[in-house]
Amino acid sequence: MSLFDKTELRLTGVYLLRNKLSLAGGAIVAAYLALTVVVTLTGKFLLPYDPYVQNFAQTLLPPNSAHFFGTDDLGRDIFSRVIAGAPIEAQIAFVVVLISLAFGGSLGAFAGYLGGMAEELLMRITDVFLSFPALVLAMAVAIAIGPGLTNSMMALLVVWWPWYARIARGEALAIKNSQYMEAAHAAGLRDVQIVVRHVLPNILMPLLVYATLDISNVILTGSILSFIGLGAQPPQPEWGRMVFDGQDYLSGAWWMSVLPALAIFVVVLAFSLFGDGLRDAFDPKLRRR
Amino acid sequence: MSEPLLSIENVRLEFNTEQGTVHALRGVDLSVGKNEVVGLVGESGCGKTVLGLAVLGLNPMPPARLLDGSQILFQGRNLAELTPHELALVRGTGISMIFQEPATSLNPVFTIGDQISESIRLRIQRQRNEDKSTPSSSEIDEQVYEALRLVRIADPERIARRYPHELSGGMKQRAMIAMAMAAKPSLLIADEPTTALDVTIQAQILRLMRDLMNEVKTSILFITHDLGVIAEIADRVAVMYAGHIVEEAPVGQLFAEPLHPYTQGLLASLPRLSDLDREIKQLPGSVPDAINPPSGCSFHPRCEFAREECRTESPKLKELKAGHKVACYLY
Amino acid sequence: MGLLKFCLKRIISIIPVLIGVTLLTFLISRVVVPNPARAWAGLKASQATVQAIAIRYHLHDPLYLQYYYYLRDLLSGDWGTSPVNSQPVLDNLTAFFPATLELAIVAIIIAAALGIPLGVYAAVHQDKGIDHAARLFSLGTYCAPPFLMALLMQLIFSYWFRILPSGGRFSPLYPLPHKITGLLILDSILSGNLQALGIALIHISLPALSLALLTFGLITRLTRSSMLEVLRQDYVRTARAKGLVERVVIFKHALRNGLTSIVTVMALLFAFMLSGAIVIEYIFNWPGIGRYAVQSILSLDLPAVMGTTLVFTLIIISVNLLADIAYAVLDPRIRLD
Amino acid sequence: MSSQTLLSVKNLVKHYRVGTVSFLGRRFGHKQKMVHSLDGVSFNVARDETLGVVGESGCGKTTLARTMLLLTPPTSGSITFEDKEITKLPKQELRKLRSRMQIVFQDPVSSLDPRMRVRDIVAEPLVGVGEKDRAQIREKVRAMLERVGLSQDALNRFPHQFSGGQRQRIGIARALVCEPQFLVLDEPTSALDASIQAQVLNLLRRLERDLRLSSVFISHNINVVCYMSDRIAVMYAGEIVEMGPTREILGKSSHPYTTTLFASVPKVDPSHRRADTEIIGEQPSPVNPPSGCRFHPRCPFVMEKCKSVRPEQTVVNSNHWAACHLLTK
C-alpha cells in the first residue's frame, strides 16, 4: 500500500519535465520558498537595507543601482521591503491551505463516506458559504474581527474550507461507489481498515494536487485583503499593503506600487503554472492524449 | 465482384503517444463490393475500429498519421490524399458511419428530428447541381419521418420530437441508423453497432440491417468482435490481428474451414449452445503490444505451429482458393 | 418535467440558501463582532447612542429573537445606518448600484467577445503555438492581481500617454444625461445625447478594460477546457461522420454543448469579476458598490460592509439561478429529474 | 432443506430509492420513486453445484449478486448459508462469514485499488479474517497466484501493469485466497476478449472442480452461462421466470421469454442463420414494472389473465419450473 506508485511517479515526472512552463513555474516556486526560509531564518541580516528604517533624505527615488526597486515616500528601500515581505505571503498561503485541507478535507471525506444526514447537512452548509463571493465574505469576517495579519488568515479560513469539504466529499463518494470498495467489504475488512487502506490514500492525492493549485488563489485573495487594509498593518512590509500605500504616488513614483504588485503577480503565476502542470501530470486522462 | 466500391490498399497508420509509437495498422488490404456486407472481426486493440475511422479520416490527426503509400480508393478517388474539407464532402452521402454507443453518439441537446434533418439537408445540398429547388421545411419533416419509418419506428412524428435521452438504447441505435441512411450513402461503416445492446435488441437491429441491405442497396462494412454476429450478417469476413488482415473468406467457408491458426483458435475458444460438452480450447498468451509488436508473423508467440521463418518474416496474404485468402506460412 | 416546473422548483430551492446566508451575515455582525452595539453605532459614537442602537436592534434579546428582528429589518428595507455618513446603508447601495452594473456589463461583454472565440480557437488547435500563447496569456491575466491591472492601465493611458481620464465616471464640467435607467451609456443613447455618450465611454474605458482583461483570462480558460472536453465526445465524431463540414461541427454541435458547461460556472465568473470590481472601482474612483465597500472598510463602517456583502451575495445567488435556468433551456437532459 | 443445500435464498426483495423527495415534496403528496431491482427471488444452491443466472441488462442480476452476499441489505427475504439464517446477523459475525462466501467482479479495472500492490490486494481477505502471521499470508498469496497462473514477479506490481485477463486472475486469486465454499461470479469474463475469456473460463472450471466450490455464475452471455452451469435461472425485470437443469432448459424452454432470449443468441454458424422470429419491444422500466406477468407487453402468447395476475411457479419437470400462465391453462 503506498500513495505513490513508482511507475506512475516516473510518468508524472517525465510529463512535468517536458512541460517547460510548469517547470519554470516550479523553479520560481522553489526559489521563492528558499527565499522565504532564508529570510525567516536570518531576518533583515542579509537585506541590503533595513526595511523599516526611514530615510527622509532619499524619498521616492526611482530604481537605480543602489536601490533596485527605488525608495518609497518614507525613503525606505522597496527591494528590501519586498524581500522582507516574502515570508508573509507564504505564511498566509500555507496556513490557509493546510488548515482548510485538514479541516474541510476530513469533514468532507467523512460526510461523503457516511452519507445520509451528515452528508446532507454538510452540503447545505457549504452551499451557504459558497453562495458568497470569497473575497466579500472574507472582507466581512475580517472587518468584524478587526484588521491584522492573523485575523485576515482567520477570515480566509472561514471562506476556504468549504471548497475542500466539497472536493473531499466528491472523491469519497466516487471511492465509496467503486468496485474495489465493494471488494474490500466482501473481504470482510472492518470500517477502520477500509478507511486506512483505501479511502485515505485515494482521497489525499487529488486533494494535494488541488491544494497546490489553490495556493495561488489564496495569495491573490490575501493580497487584495491587505490592499484594502485588512491584512498586515504598517509598517510591516506586506506586498498588498505596499501597493495600496504607493498608489497615491502612481503618477510620480510608479515603482512604489507597481513593483510589489508585480512581485505578487510573479509568485501567483508561478504557483499556478506549477499547479496546472501537476494536475495535468496526475490526471492520466489528460496525460495520455 | 467486378469493381469494388471501396478498396483499401496497404494502409498503414501510426499514433504517437507518450509511451511510444503505436503501430495500429500495418499494411491492410481489404475491399468492399457493391451490395455486400463485409464483416471485419478481431479482438480489442487489433486495429479494426481504427481502420473504420481511417476510411473516413476520423482518427484525430495528430496524433494519428497515415503513412505514405496508404490507399483508400472510393469512387475513383484516394481518400487518403484528400484535404480535410474534401473528405468532409465524401462523408455522409458517400460513406456514413454508426458507432458502438448510441447513448453518447447522438448529440444530447438536439432532437432526433433535428439530427436526422441535418443529413437530409446535406444530401439535398450536394445534389442541388441537378435540381435547383430547395425543399420546404415540411418536405424535410416528411423525409425525416420517412427515414424513421425505414428503421421500423412506428410513430415517427412523436420520436422526431424526442431528445436522445428520452429514448431507450435500442431506439437510439435505430435513430442513429436512420440518420446515417437518410443521406443515402453507398457504404455504411458499422462499428460494433450492437455491442452495447441486449441480446434481444441486438437481434432486432441485426435483422433491421439485413432488411435495409435488401431494400436500399447499401454496402456495409460491419466491424465487430463477435463471431456470432458475423455469422449472422456478413457475406464475406476479414479476420484482423495486430494491425494485419490474417484471413479473408466468404462467410460459410471461414466458419466451415478456417485456415489461419488464429481464426481456428478463436473459433475453438467460443462456448456454443449446440455443443456444450466440448471443452473450449484456449489460445495461450495475450494480444501483442501495438508499440512493440512481435517480429515476423505477429501471431507466432501464441501459435502452436510457429516455425523459424514465422519469427523473422511477416507472411503475405495469399489467395488459396477462390476468395479465400490467408497470411500464414503453413500454406 | 416542464421548464416552468423546473424554474419554480429551483426558485423555491434558494429559500434555504437565503436563510443560511442571512444567518451567516447575522452571526458575523452580531456574534463574531466583539461589541456589536459599538460597531453598529460607530467608534466615535457617544455612550448614549450606543445604548440607543442596542435597544433599536434588540441587542439584549436572545439570539433567535435578534435574528427574527434582523430578518424583519432586512425585509422592510432597514439595512442599518452608516455611522460614518449617517445615511441609511440601503440608500447608499441603491445609489451606487447602477455604476457597478454598468461597469460589469461592459466588462463582461468585452471579455466574452474576446474570450469565447479565443477559447474555442485554442481548443480546436490544441497544443499548437496559438494554443500555448492563448493559454499563457489567459493564465497571465487570470493570475494578475486586479490592482496591478488597474494601476498599469492608469499609469500607461492616463499618466504617460495622457489620453484617458484616470478616474471618475463622468466629467464634472458637463451636464449628466437625463436619468432614465441610471446607466450613463444607455441613458445617453436613449436621450440622443452624443456628447454625454462620448464622455461616459471615455471614463468607463479604463476600468472596464481592466476588469474585462481580468475576466477574459478566466473565460478563455473555461471555454477552452469545456470545448476540449466536448470535442472528445462521441457525438462530435458522429457529426463529422455524417458529413458536416468542420465549421458546423465546431460551432453548432460542439459549441452548443460547450456553452452549457460554461453557463454552469457563470456564478463563479461573476464572483471573480465582482471581487476584481471592488479593487478596480476604488483605484479608478468609480462610484459603484465596490468603491463604497473599500471606503467603508477603510473607515471601519460595519453596517455598510455588511450591506455590500449582502448585495454582492444576492447578485451571485441570482446569477446562479439565472444560469441554472439557462442551463435547463440549453440542455434538455437537466429538466428530466 | 436437504443437507446438500449450501445456500438458500427465499423471497429476496430489493428496492432502491431513486431521486430524493424533499420534506416539502412529501407534504404535497410526491411519492418516492422506487426501483424494483429484485422482486421475490428464491433459489437454492447445492454443494459442488454451479447455478447460472442469465438475463439482460437491468434485469437485476448484479443486484442479486450484491444482495446475496449482503454487500447491500435486502429490503426483505431471507438468505440461509449452511443452515444458518444470515440476513439478521450482527455486523461482526457477518464479517467472519465473509471469508467463506466470496465474489469475483465484472470490471477488472475498477475492482482493484489502483494504489495497492498485487500482494496486498490478494491478501485482503486474509486481513479481513484477522490473519496476523505475515509469513503465512505471504505463503498463501504466493500459492494462490501460482494456482491462477500468475508468476511470482506479479506480487510487487500494481494492477495497471497487467492486461485485462491477468487482472481478472488477480481478482479470482483474491476471492479464493481464504478458501471459501461459495463463490459468486458477477460477469467475470464480460470485459474480456474471446481468446482471453476462454482462458479464464477454463481456469474457473478447473478451480471449481479442484476446490469443490459451489458457485453462482451471473452473465448476460448465454453461451458462457450455459457452458459453465449445471442449472440455470432466467431473470426478467427483477424476477426469475424459469429455472432448471441447463440441458433441459436448452432443449425445452417453457417460458416464452426464455425461448425468445435463446433464439436471439447468434449461432456461430452462418448456415444456421436465425429463423425469423420477430422479437418486439424492450425490457420495462424497473421503476414502473408492468402489472401481472412482467413479460406480457412483449409476449406473443399474451392472454387477458397475464395482464393482471402474476403467474405462479409451475413445475414442468422434477427440477424444472417456470412462471407462466400458459402452463396452467
In the predicted structure, residue D278 carries a pLDDT above the cut 80:
no
Domain with CATH 3.40.50.300 in chain D: 5-21+30-229
Nearest to C145 among A139, A224, A276 (CB): A224
For residues C101-112, average pLDDT: 94
D166 touches D150 (CB < 8 A) = yes
Domain span holding position A203: 1-8+90-289
Nearest to C151 among A144, A223, A250 (CB): A250
Grid cell 466583539 is found at C34
Residues C53, C95 within the same domain: no
Cα(B21)–Cα(D305) distance, integer angstroms: 64
Within chain A, how many helices (H) and strands (E) appear?
12, 0
pLDDT at residue A246 in the model: 93
Percent of chain B as helix, strand, coil, to the nearest 5? 35, 25, 40
Residues C99, C222 within the same domain: yes
Alpha helical stretches, state H, B28-111: 48-55, 84-90, 102-105
Residues C218, C159 within the same domain: yes
The CATH number of residue A209's host domain is 1.10.3720.10
CB spacing of B104 vs C243 below 8 angstroms? no
Residues C121, C56 within the same domain: no
Copy the grid coordinates of residue B10.
Answer: 496497404
pLDDT tier, A13 (very low <50, low <70, confident <90, very high otherwise):
low
Cα(C237)–Cα(B46) distance, integer angstroms: 21
Is residue C313 in a domain?
no
pLDDT tier, C34 (very low <50, low <70, confident <90, very high otherwise):
confident
Which residues contact residue B324 at a Cβ distance below 8 angstroms, ignoring those fewer than 6 apart? Answer: B248, B249, B250, B253, B254, B259
* Enclosing H/E stretch for D84: strand D84-85
pLDDT at residue B163 in the model: 92
**Model pLDDT for residues D282-307, shown as the tens digit of each residue:** 888 888 888 899 999 988 898 999 99
In the predicted structure, residue A286 carries a pLDDT above the cut 70:
no
Domain span holding position C243: 90-306
B165 touches C332 (CB < 8 A) = yes
**Model pLDDT for residues A139-185, shown as the tens digit of each residue:** 999 999 999 999 999 999 999 999 999 999 999 888 888 889 889 98
Q: What is the three-class DSSP state of C78?
A: coil
Which residues contact residue C155 at a Cβ distance below 8 angstroms, ignoring those fewer than 6 apart? Answer: A250, A251, A254, A258
D263 touches D277 (CB < 8 A) = yes
Residues C253, C158 within the same domain: yes
Interface partners of chain C (CB pairs < 8 Å, 3 or more) are A, B
- CB-CB neighbours of C34 under 10 Å: 10
Closest by CA position to B248, among listed B318, B329, B190: B318
Which chain A residues are Cβ-neighbours of B20 within 8 angstroms? none
Is residue C191 in a domain?
yes
pLDDT at residue A288 in the model: 39
Cβ–Cβ contact B200 with D under 8 A: yes
Is residue C8 in a domain?
no
Cβ–Cβ contact A122 with C under 8 A: no
A207 touches A105 (CB < 8 A) = yes
pLDDT at residue D277 in the model: 61
The CATH number of residue C177's host domain is 1.10.3720.10
User: In one letter, which amino acid is C170?
Assistant: F
Give the bridge partners for D15, in sequence order. Answer: D36
Q: Which of A99-103, B276-280, C57-61 has the lowest mean pLDDT?
A: B276-280
Which of 3.40.80.10, 3.40.50.12170, 3.40.50.300, 3.40.1390.40 would CATH assign to domain D5-21+30-229? Answer: 3.40.50.300
Copy the grid coordinates of residue A244.
Answer: 495600496
D128 touches A187 (CB < 8 A) = yes
Cβ–Cβ contact A208 with D under 8 A: no
Average model confidence (pLDDT) for chain C?
A: 90
**Model pLDDT for residues C88-100, shown as the tens digit of each residue:** 999 999 999 999 9
Residues C148, C258 within the same domain: yes
Cα(C24)–Cα(A138) distance, integer angstroms: 12
Closest by CA position to C136, among listed B254, B74, A272, B215: A272
pLDDT at residue A14 in the model: 65
Residue after which a domain boundary falls, among C53, C76, C99: C76
A235 touches A52 (CB < 8 A) = yes
pLDDT tier, C240 (very low <50, low <70, confident <90, very high otherwise):
very high
Residues of D in CB contact (< 8 Å) with B are: 56-57, 163, 165-166, 193-199, 201-202, 220, 222-224, 226-228, 246-247, 250, 260-271, 273-274, 276, 278-280, 282-283
Q: How many domains does chain A have?
A: 1
Residues C206, C174 within the same domain: yes
Which chain C residues are Cβ-neighbours of B56 within 8 angstroms? 240-241
In the predicted structure, residue C31 carries a pLDDT above the cut 60:
yes
In the predicted structure, residue D316 carries a pLDDT above the cut 80:
yes
Nearest to A265 among C39, C143, C271 (CB): C143
Q: In a mutagenesis test of the B interface, which of D227, D246, D273, D274 is the best target, namely the one with the most B β-carbons within 10 Å?
A: D227
**Which CA distances in Å does A274 have to A20, A163, A268, A279, C228?**
10, 20, 10, 9, 21
Q: How many domains does chain C have?
A: 2
pLDDT at residue D131 in the model: 82
Interface partners of chain D (CB pairs < 8 Å, 3 or more) are A, B
C104 touches C215 (CB < 8 A) = no
What domains can be seen in chain B, in order of their start residue?
6-94+186-326 (3.40.50.300), 108-184 (no CATH)
**Model pLDDT for residues A19-74, shown as the tens digit of each residue:** 778 889 999 999 999 999 999 998 878 888 888 889 889 898 999 998 999 999 99
In the predicted structure, residue D7 carries a pLDDT above the cut 80:
yes
Using a 10 angstrom Cβ sphere, with 0-12 exposed, 13-18 middle and 19 or more buried, the burial of residue A223 is: buried
Q: What percent of chain C has pLDDT over 70?
A: 99
Using a 10 angstrom Cβ sphere, with 0-12 exposed, 13-18 middle and 19 or more buried, the burial of residue D263 is: middle
D22 touches D36 (CB < 8 A) = no
Is residue A81 in a domain?
no
Cα(D19)–Cα(D150) distance, integer angstroms: 44
Which chain C residues are Cβ-neighbours of A250 within 8 angstroms? 151, 154-155, 159
Q: Is the pTM of this model over 0.80?
A: yes
**Model pLDDT for residues D187-211, shown as the tens digit of each residue:** 998 888 888 899 999 999 999 999 9
pLDDT at residue B211 in the model: 87
**Model pLDDT for residues A217-255, shown as the tens digit of each residue:** 999 999 999 999 999 898 899 999 999 999 999 988 999
In the predicted structure, residue A284 carries a pLDDT above the cut 60:
no
Average model confidence (pLDDT) for chain B?
A: 89
pLDDT tier, C1 (very low <50, low <70, confident <90, very high otherwise):
low
Work out how many CB contacts closer than 8 A connect B with D: 129
The alpha-carbon radius of gyration of chain D (Å, integer) is 21
Is residue C328 in a domain?
no
Q: What is the three-class DSSP state of B221?
A: strand
B47 touches B242 (CB < 8 A) = yes
Is residue C151 in a domain?
yes
Q: How far is C202 from chain B (nearest CA, A)?
A: 42
Q: At what angle do helices C255-264 and C302-330 cross, to 10 degrees?
A: 150
Is residue C317 in a domain?
no
CB spacing of A135 vs C275 below 8 angstroms? yes
pLDDT tier, A196 (very low <50, low <70, confident <90, very high otherwise):
confident
Alpha helical stretches, state H, B278-325: 308-312
Q: How far is B22 from chain A (nearest CA, A)?
A: 12
Instruction: State how beta strands B37-41 and B77-78 pair.
Output: unpaired
Grid cell 470535442 is found at C231
Cβ–Cβ contact B20 with A under 8 A: no
Copy the grid coordinates of residue A156.
Answer: 480566509
pLDDT at residue B131 in the model: 60
Using a 10 angstrom Cβ sphere, with 0-12 exposed, 13-18 middle and 19 or more buried, the burial of residue C62 is: exposed
**Model pLDDT for residues B222-272, shown as the tens digit of each residue:** 999 999 999 989 999 999 999 999 999 999 999 999 999 999 999 999 988
CB spacing of B108 vs C332 below 8 angstroms? yes
The full DSSP string for D219-250 is ES-HHHHHHH-SEEEEEETTEEEEEEEHHHHH
DSSP structural state of residue A77: B
Using a 10 angstrom Cβ sphere, with 0-12 exposed, 13-18 middle and 19 or more buried, the burial of residue C206 is: buried
Q: What is the three-class DSSP state of B72?
A: strand
pLDDT tier, A15 (very low <50, low <70, confident <90, very high otherwise):
low
In the predicted structure, residue D250 carries a pLDDT above the cut 80:
yes
In the predicted structure, residue D1 carries a pLDDT above the cut 70:
no
CB spacing of D270 vs B272 below 8 angstroms? no
Residues C72, C128 within the same domain: no
User: In one letter, which amino acid is D308?
Assistant: S
